[in-house]
Structure 1
């Protein structure tokens, strides 16, 4: 058997074997216990827990732990995160920890990690990252260390009590009616820009547009169903890190929704369906078109007509803004967008209510 690490061996059957002292026989001879697994990290961390569990009289006492933050995070991600979340969520957590946390403080022993270490990390990130990004990274780290507490590997979470940078409210960028008309005039000349029309008339996210299939469209009732999303995530293989395209269910229950479609959009969809050879509405031959291809096509158009300060996501905001201007109430717009709450919609589009606010104040003069 080949050996890797303290008391961990590679067996001929492909499994890893970890050995720990379970007790002693009457003659004083050591009695060993064994842990088996197909992953080295799994055996390593189970071995650490078992070795020191025997040295404590109470489960409430802190278990000594030899691993550093990198060791624990790897184990946490593989054991407690990957089996319970979507591949995109796992990839997001892993990327946040690898890039922003472990690259800086990953070598610190888990049980020697102090609040000051986390605070210094926050100050470093504050120099280059947005407050919202820092808060997102911090949340993952806090959850990671929280699990260590539940397993008696830490007494308290060093993330507690720290002051985070305040996230500024996002300023929504939506096209004006004039710019929208200019964009529509340009893209109507070529069907490969139909994804832009979909975004403007439905408010779909770019991944939702990529995942849209003909089976999701009910032409009889004039509705469009959002049942999946396509995105590119980071993955790993023997050759190292890379990315891959995945198709998953929408991010939340609210994201999975039905949207009414206008007559003009229905007409365009029926025309496109006649020439389509794919299950997907927006496709590259038979496959779904990936998000970055759609984003690249929009980039070409926006540069051509002078809208370089807008991203593809601005089209979703444009849809919501047009709904507000048409007198739509916030609950209806929130439902169309697939937001988790009306508060989220209000937070995004507060600035878009300025016209309505002005009209309301002007009416007060007549009272």
Structure 2
């Protein structure tokens, strides 16, 4: 049996090795116990390392630490929509999770890695886990910078990646109208109270939030352009007690590229002018009951349209006219698809859609570009035949 200088103590009729640790960062000596010499040596080594690196002796759980960090630190200067998204991630994936009760000072890369792996096995998407890591990783860095943990291990975390076929499936989720479906849809919305909204979406590629935030000041009828510089979102405010009563939030677009000026088709210009005249008549009729927010698309009383209501009415039109059910966002995809079919180059489409980079445009509309290859080939063949080359 190996010799040891550790003394022994009997506690509850059980024998333990004992060591009284003194350190400059300890206000008073700390008694350590171990059932074996090896166990005790490890405790001494680990605690000494923490003390040498000025790690605070925190018993706080990871969840408590995370809540304080999220709401008191991270939420400063964040957009309401970002707060809502982060609160949802916390509530669904961190609150009462297997990470919750771990002590913040003991949290490790292995703990985070195992948790992400378990989420994958439960069928949680890679996108969700990536978003989750966007709040867990900075919280770990904050803990490290404030001497709550020994090491910033965030760069060692390996995030799951989508398989190639998953990427392809994701791209194929876009569901634009065919030409026939588009014609049927346009005819079916004549007289609908959202007719001009649907037509504008279909012929400009604007996102729903951009459409609902659009004001008459953004439309230049003289130069036939629309300036896109804001977006609107329905927000449920969040705090440590959960979500409160929702409100409409007008925000700047997420990326610089989303701020853009796009052409206004002449036929749509005429419809918008007529729509504006009718809106003005309604405003005069309602007098003080009308809230003049200068919105292009608003409800009867001039207030912001509810996005869920817009989606429901869009779905109702599709169902009533036996058109395949699709998302409102597919109106934007239809706009881009028609442009590609008309031979427009990807860079122009990128600019009109407000994509941050050309790869987003190319990846999203791979299927359309593949179809246009055959069209180009046929055009070249027709050109060759027209030249009467022997």
Q: After TM superposition, is the score higher than 0.5?
A: yes
Partners of 2:77 and 2:93 lie apart in 1 by 23
Please list, as runs of the form range in 1=range in 2, the aligned pairs for 1:274-293 lying within 5 A after superposition. 274-276=277-279, 277=283, 278=292, 279-284=294-299, 285-293=301-309
**Partner-residue secondary structure (3-state), 2:323:** coil
Partners of 1:353 and 1:70 lie apart in 2 by 47
**Offset of residue 184 of structure 1:** 0.7
Unpaired segments of 5 or more residues in structure 2? 1-25, 28-49, 284-291
**Does structure 2 retain, via aligned residues, the 8 Å contact 1:212–1:281?**
yes
**Does structure 2 retain, via aligned residues, the 8 Å contact 1:232–1:244?**
yes
Distance 1:236-1:185 versus aligned 2 partners, 3 A rule: same
Structure-1-length-normalised TM-score: 0.77
Please list, as runs of the form range in 1=range in 2, the aligned pairs for 1:13-28 lying within 5 A after superposition. none
Unpaired segments of 5 or more residues in structure 1? 1-22, 25-55
**Does structure 1 retain, via aligned residues, the 8 Å contact 2:196–2:275?**
no
Q: Which residue of 2 aligns with 1:62?
A: 55
**Offset of residue 324 of structure 1:** 1.1
Partners of 1:68 and 1:237 lie apart in 2 by 19
**Per-residue CA distance 1:129-155 (angstroms, 9 max, x = gap):** 322222222232222222222333221
**Does structure 2 retain, via aligned residues, the 8 Å contact 1:193–1:298?**
no
**Does structure 2 retain, via aligned residues, the 8 Å contact 1:101–1:121?**
no
**Does structure 2 retain, via aligned residues, the 8 Å contact 1:234–1:241?**
yes
Q: Which residue of 2 aligns with 1:92?
A: 85
Partners of 1:194 and 1:359 lie apart in 2 by 32
Distance 1:130-1:353 versus aligned 2 partners, 3 A rule: same
Q: Which residue of 2 aligns with 1:134?
A: 129
**Partner-residue secondary structure (3-state), 1:245:** strand
Q: Count residues in correspondence.
A: 315
Structure-2-length-normalised TM-score: 0.73
**Partner-residue secondary structure (3-state), 2:243:** strand
**Partner-residue secondary structure (3-state), 2:194:** helix
Partners of 1:166 and 1:267 lie apart in 2 by 46
Q: Which residue of 1 aligns with 2:196?
A: 194
Partners of 1:238 and 1:165 lie apart in 2 by 32
Partners of 1:85 and 1:163 lie apart in 2 by 25
173-182 or 243-252, larger mean C-alpha shift = 243-252
1:122 to 116, 119, 130: 116
Q: Which residue of 2 aligns with 1:81?
A: 74
Please list, as runs of the form range in 1=range in 2, the aligned pairs for 1:247-262 lying within 5 A after superposition. 247-262=250-265
74-83 or 266-275, larger mean C-alpha shift = 74-83
Partners of 2:270 and 2:185 lie apart in 1 by 19
**Offset of residue 164 of structure 1:** 0.7
Q: Which residue of 2 aligns with 1:5?
A: none
Q: Which residue of 2 aligns with 1:108?
A: 102
**Offset of residue 210 of structure 1:** 0.8
**Offset of residue 336 of structure 1:** 0.9
**Per-residue CA distance 1:308-342 (angstroms, 9 max, x = gap):** 43100111111111111112111111111111111
Structure showing greater Rg:
2
**Offset of residue 158 of structure 1:** 5.8
